[in-house]
Amino acid sequence: MAYNLLKGKRGIIFGALDENSIAWKTAERVFEEGGKFVLTNAPIAMRMGKIKDLAAKTGAEIIPADATKVEDLENLVEKATEILGGKLDFVLHSIGMSVNVRKGKHYTDMNYDFTTKGWDVSAVSFHKTMQVLYKKEAMNEWGSIVALTYMAAQRVFPDYNDMADNKAYLESIARSFGYFFGVNAKVRVNTISQSPTPTTAGQGVKGFDGFIAYADKMSPLGNATADECADYTLTLFSDLTRKVTLQNLFHDGGFSNMGVSQEVMEAFEKGLEK
Ligand SMILES: NC(=O)c1ccc[n+]([C@@H]2O[C@H](COP(=O)([O-])OP(=O)(O)OC[C@H]3O[C@@H](n4cnc5c(N)ncnc54)[C@H](O)[C@@H]3O)[C@@H](O)[C@H]2O)c1
């Protein structure tokens, strides 16, 4: 159902790779709610992904940008405000990548060049994006910036590898930059900590299938889907959440406050009986 929540609002959506991407679902929902936006992704993702299909569906233009390159981000923000006809009301950072995860390097045997690349893509890119928006005064008052994160920033998930550290870094940047954006530009900055979700980035994590099934059984409401994450993000882009800022907001069916669930206990006990 659409509520016209984003009528007249303009923004940039990073990270739609294919129809499973959380950013893809968000773009579709923003479109339904009347928002206008520019889509962006790394130049390499343009070749691999299907972003053109999404652009055609939502009437959006695509501006490629490697989110680790400040000059790409400057070009993106300049062109986006030109194309959309004014300052921005919302920005979604939906970007994550660990070379250590991709290459199967264990957390206790990291390649630090990979580590550096991973935190640049997954965390510092958020700072770079905000710094460009801030310096160019590209956000409207009461605008909203959201990045996606995962609970491995607070709790141990061994296979999440250095992405856990990257997410902790990302969440800290949201608070620190959010302060300056709030005081000086009345813009809010938050992170959404999403359930495990079957996307290209999600499925890159070792043991993902067991992990997603476990989280589902632990969560009183079950895992949150990518579509539900898109819905939640919309509320943060809308005018209904103007005083929410500097927060890490769990969108996980209740998982983050659970100790154990009956279902997980029963599965464990069955295993012990064997
Ligand atoms: N899938 C999950 O289980 C899950 C759970 C919690 C949080 N998240 C987070 O959600 C966000 C979106 O991931 P997703 O699950 O939709 O997967 P996805 O693979 O569809 O999206 C990741 C995106 O990052 C983009 N990207 C990588 N390097 C880039 C660069 N240098 N410049 C610009 N873009 C770049 C990719 O092209 C891709 O579009 C990520 O931050 C991810 O960590 C995912």
- Best probe residue, ligand 1, of 13, 14, 17 (max atoms within 8 Å of C-beta): 17
Per-residue pLDDT, 240: 98
Per-residue pLDDT, 207: 84
Fill in the DSSP letter of residue 98: -
- CA atoms lying within 13 Å on the CB side of residue 166: 29
Per-residue pLDDT, 232: 98
For residue 239, the CA-to-ligand 1 centroid distance in Å is 26
How far apart are the C-alpha atoms of 141 and 180, rounded to whole Å?
13
Residue 49, pLDDT above cutoff 90 = no
Q: What is the fold of 10-273?
A: Rossmann fold (3.40.50)
With a 6 A CB cut-off, is 199 part of the ligand 1 pocket?
A: yes
Q: What's the pTM value of the predicted model, to 2 decimals?
A: 0.97
The number of the ligand 1 atom at minimal distance from the alpha carbon of 192 is 7
Convert the pLDDT of each residue in 16-28 to its tens digit: 999 999 999 999 9
How far apart are the C-alpha atoms of 99 and 103, rounded to whole Å?
6
With a 6 A CB cut-off, is 94 part of the ligand 1 pocket?
A: yes
The number of the ligand 1 atom at minimal distance from the alpha carbon of 22 is 16
Per-residue pLDDT, 200: 85
With a 6 A CB cut-off, is 118 part of the ligand 1 pocket?
A: no
Residue nearest ligand 1's atom 36 by CA: 15
Q: What percent of the chain is modeled with pLDDT above 70?
A: 99
Residue 205, pLDDT above cutoff 90 = no
Residue 126 near residue 153 (C-beta atoms within 8 A): no
Per-residue pLDDT, 201: 84
Residue nearest ligand 1's atom 17 by CA: 201
The number of the ligand 1 atom at minimal distance from the alpha carbon of 194 is 6
Domain boundaries, the chain: 10-273
**Average model confidence (pLDDT) across the chain:** 96
CA 19 to chain centre: 15
DSSP letters spanning 110-134: --HHHHHHHHIIIIIHHHHHHHHHH
Residue 177, pLDDT above cutoff 90 = yes
Per-residue pLDDT, 61: 97
Residue 53, pLDDT above cutoff 80 = yes
Residue 5, pLDDT above cutoff 90 = yes
For residue 96, the CA-to-ligand 1 centroid distance in Å is 4
How far apart are the C-alpha atoms of 124 and 66, rounded to whole Å?
12
Residue 12 near residue 38 (C-beta atoms within 8 A): yes
- Best probe residue, ligand 1, of 21, 76, 132, 214 (max atoms within 8 Å of C-beta): 21
For residue 18, the CA-to-ligand 1 centroid distance in Å is 11
Give kind and range of the element (H or E) at residue 219.
none
Convert the pLDDT of each residue in 89-146 to its tens digit: 999 999 999 999 999 999 999 999 999 999 999 999 999 999 999 999 999 999 999 9
How far apart are the C-alpha atoms of 104 and 126, rounded to whole Å?
25
With a 6 A CB cut-off, is 101 part of the ligand 1 pocket?
A: no
The number of the ligand 1 atom at minimal distance from the alpha carbon of 121 is 31
For residue 97, the CA-to-ligand 1 centroid distance in Å is 7
